[in-house]
């Protein structure tokens, strides 16, 4: 339950928020926008003012009514054709003060100075519950950080981010959200002409490990202190007044990242590009590029066409998350302690706990997937043996757990053999060693194992149709993904993995 409380934290962010909530009456004017700009209170090195570049023919392709209402926006007014101008960057919503954020990042292990090259922050929407959410336009034109890029985005990748981020939210996994996709009426060259689009991304914040790495690289202690205080105020207000704020922050981020990556591992999600500019201090999943869900269980699964050595492979994600948070620790060294050796010791001590934290989250999640309420020492082996069976038989990860969720597992799992029969016997025995009934256990399993995930072939079909102007396939997919734990709605088509094609599924970076 404690874990769930944390995962639900997004909804409760208002309570935790270190900033003063605004009165609800402030929401009445102009589409419900209530934008503030706390990030711009950081030293000037962290951001640059920049305005979105207008596009030729903005059109609203997708609008997230439910999210809009949660944000306190006037969903009906904003879903109209005229608000395409806002979501394409042609017109600023009231109170917007657009800026691009400065940050660095380790890309495939190599330190690079980056910054928002194609994303522009309009401000922070204060929601009716007092939560503070970044409203960002992704693909809204060049910024001083664009390097050789065009500052633009293609429709396919923006729709893909919309689909997967909303699917993750429905799974209860902390994530940035997608409010809208607007098409621009202009081509982008990738390298052939593709329809251009702008995604409106909603995030607890866009503070990243790379934001800290950038400040550390500039070597300015004041900037680092300001960033630590700001991040604590925004995401970890319970740490305000901690004797060592930088250490408290590092420990809190480690814990959230351990929880987050365990959630990915429990649903078969491959982020695909876990560079440190894509690791959010809030603990949300961020930057959906070449991400995808696994079908057959295989820790070596890689979808991204550029991840040639499997650095960001499915099974590598806990290790790489530890690596990424180690980069945060490095960036914080000068503010962890004035004595360099002591600082390193403090960092290493905190980082040393990651593995245990991750395992605890993973095991708690696995117990839920197996319908177990109590804890036994053999539970890790029980879970791992099932995974080993899946790996050797190339069983579908999602459907295997879904089959375990309806009480008819033996006939629901394809490729069942004696090894699986043995395992099922052990599991059945284990289920008797808890107080809860089979009905209660089934309920827990169904709430822990999605029946429907964003299958790659369905995502591709939805994107292909949408690029031709037909959004019906995508709308159906979004509807299916909105209630992933609904095991009663047995639409077999929504559950099927892709037919074997002999070719590995490949995704391409969102640029």
Task: Name the residue nearer to ligand AMP (CB basis): 278 or 334.
Answer: 278
Tokens 């004017």 -> residue:
29
User: Catalytic residue at 385?
Assistant: no
Task: Please name the residues in contact with 426: beta carbons below 8 A apart, sequence gap of 6 or more.
Answer: 382, 385
Min dist CB 461 to ligand AMP, Å, is 24
Residue 146, contacted partner among ligand AMP, Mg ion, none, CB below 5-8 A by kind: ligand AMP
Residues 386-415 that bind ligand AMP (CB under 6 A): none
- State the Cα angle at 74 between 71 and 78, rounded to 5°: 105
**86, HSE (Cβ side, Cα atoms, 13 Å):** 21
Residue nearest Mg ion, CB atom distance: 287
* d(C-alpha 490, C-alpha 247), whole Å: 48
CB of 290 to ligand AMP, least distance (A): 9
Any residues with CB less than 8 A from the CB of 352 and at least 6 apart, and which? none
Nearer to Mg ion, 128 or 174 (CB): 174
Choose between 189 and 373: whose C-beta lies nearer to ligand AMP: 189
Least distance to ligand AMP, CB of residue 495, Å: 31
Shortest gap between Cβ of 287 and ligand AMP (angstroms)?
A: 5
Q: How far apart are CA 272 and CA 234, in angstroms?
A: 27
The one of ligand AMP, Mg ion, none whose footprint includes residue 415, by CB under 5 to 8 A per kind, is: none
Between 117 and 412, name the residue whose CB sits nearer to Mg ion.
117
The distance of Cα 63 from the centroid of its chain, to the nearest Å, equals 19
Of the residues 17, 116, 134, 277, which is catalytic? 277
161 binds ligand AMP (CB under 6 A): no
| Partner that binds at residue 372, options Mg ion, ligand AMP, none, CB closer than 5 to 8 Å by kind | none
CB of 183 to ligand AMP, least distance (A): 16
Residue of 387, 402, 385 lying closest to 451 (CA atoms): 402
**Measured distance CA(150)–CA(338) in Å, rounded:** 42
Q: How far apart are CA 367 and CA 372, in angstroms?
A: 5
Beta-bridge mates of residue 154: 196
Long-range contacts of 242-248 (CB under 8 A, 24+ apart): 244/336, 244/337, 244/346, 246/332, 246/335, 246/336, 247/332, 247/336, 247/346, 247/350
Report what 72 binds from ligand AMP, Mg ion, none; CB cut-off 5-8 Å by kind. none
Residues 235-294 binding Mg ion (CB under 5 A) are 277-278, 287
Specify the residue, 152 or 160, whose C-beta has the smaller distance to ligand AMP.
152
Query: Exposed, middle or buried, 508 (CB in 10 Å: 0-12/13-18/19+)?
Result: middle
CA 230 to chain centre: 22
Q: Tell me how many residues contact Mg ion (CB under 5 A).
A: 3
Pick the closer one to ligand AMP by CB: 91 or 511. 511
Asked if 141 interacts with ligand AMP (CB under 6 A), we say no
How many residues appear in the chain? 511
CB 206 to Mg ion: min, Å:
9
Residues 6+ apart with CB under 8 A from 179: 63, 64, 67, 68, 71, 87, 135, 200, 201, 202
CB of 115 to ligand AMP, least distance (A): 6
Q: Label the pairing between strands 153-154 and 193-203.
A: antiparallel
Q: How far is the CB of 475 from Mg ion (least distance, A)?
A: 28
511 binds, among ligand AMP, Mg ion, none (CB under 5 to 8 A by kind): ligand AMP
Read off the tokens for 479: 């509807």
Enumerate residues 95-134 that contact ligand AMP by CB under 6 A.
114-119
Asked whether position 223 contacts Mg ion by CB under 5 A, the answer is: no
Stretch binding ligand AMP (CB under 6 A), from 149-157, 217-225, 374-382, 469-477: 149-157
**Is 150 a binder of ligand AMP (CB under 6 A)?**
yes
Write out the two tokens for 250.
């590092």
When the beta carbons of 6 and 508 are compared against ligand AMP, the nearer one is 508
Site residues for ligand AMP, 269-288, by CB under 6 A, read 277-278, 287
Annotated catalytic residues are 277
* Residues within the interface to ligand AMP (CB under 6 A): 114-119, 145-146, 149-152, 277-278, 287, 289, 509-511
Provide the binding-site residues for Mg ion, judged by CB under 5 A.
277-278, 287
């Amino acid at each position: 339950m404690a874990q769930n409380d944390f995962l639900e934290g997004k909804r409760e962010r208002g309570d935790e928020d270190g900033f003063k909530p605004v009165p609800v009456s402030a929401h009445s004017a102009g589409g419900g926008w209530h934008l503030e700009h706390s990030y711009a209170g950081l030293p000037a090195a962290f951001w640059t003012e920049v305005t979105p570049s207008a596009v030729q023919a903005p059109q609203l392709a997708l609008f997230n009514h439910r999210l809009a209402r949660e944000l306190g926006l006037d969903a009906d007014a904003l879903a109209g054709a005229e608000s395409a101008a806002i979501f394409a960057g042609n017109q600023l919503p009231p109170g917007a003060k657009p800026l691009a954020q400065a940050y660095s990042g380790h890309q495939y292990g190599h330190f690079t100075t980056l910054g928002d090259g194609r994303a522009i922050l309009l401000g922070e929407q204060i929601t009716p519950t007092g939560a503070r959410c970044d409203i960002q336009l992704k693909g809204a034109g060049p910024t001083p950080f664009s390097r050789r890029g065009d500052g633009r985005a293609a429709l396919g990748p923006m729709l893909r981010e919309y689909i997967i981020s909303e699917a993750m939210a429905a799974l209860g996994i902390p994530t940035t959200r997608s409010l809208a996709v607007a098409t621009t009426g202009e081509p982008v060259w990738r390298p052939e002409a593709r329809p251009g689009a702008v995604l409106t991304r909603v995030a607890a914040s866009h503070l990243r490990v790379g934001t800290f790495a950038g400040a550390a690289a500039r070597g300015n202690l004041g900037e680092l202190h300001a960033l630590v205080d700001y991040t604590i105020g925004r995401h970890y207000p319970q740490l305000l007044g901690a004797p060592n704020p930088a250490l408290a922050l590092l420990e809190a981020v480690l814990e959230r990242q351990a929880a987050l990556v365990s959630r990915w591992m429990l649903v078969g999600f491959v982020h695909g590009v876990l560079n440190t500019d894509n690791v959010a201090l809030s603990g949300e999943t961020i930057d959906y590029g070449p991400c995808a869900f696994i079908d057959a269980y295989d820790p070596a699964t890689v979808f991204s066409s550029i991840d040639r050595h499997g650095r960001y492979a499915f099974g590598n994600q806990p290790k790489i998350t530890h690596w990424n948070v180690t980069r945060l620790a490095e960036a914080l060294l000068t503010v962890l302690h004035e004595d360099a050796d002591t600082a390193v010791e403090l960092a290493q001590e905190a980082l040393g706990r990651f593995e245990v934290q991750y395992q605890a989250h993973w095991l708690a999640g696995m117990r839920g997937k197996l319908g177990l309420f109590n804890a036994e020492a053999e539970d890790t082996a029980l879970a791992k043996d099932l995974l080993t069976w899946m790996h050797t038989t190339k069983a579908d990860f999602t459907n295997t757990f879904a089959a375990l969720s309806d009480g008819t597992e033996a006939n629901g799992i394809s490729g069942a053999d004696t090894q699986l029969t043995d395992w099922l016997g052990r599991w059945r025995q284990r289920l008797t060693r808890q107080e809860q009934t089979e009905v209660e256990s089934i309920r827990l399993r169904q709430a822990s194992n999605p029946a429907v995930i964003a299958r790659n072939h369905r995502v591709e079909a939805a994107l292909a149709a949408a690029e031709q102007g037909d959004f019906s396939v995508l709308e159906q997919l979004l509807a299916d993904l909105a209630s992933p734990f609904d095991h009663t709605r047995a639409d077999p088509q929504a559950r099927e993995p892709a037919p074997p094609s002999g070719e590995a599924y490949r995704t391409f970076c969102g640029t």
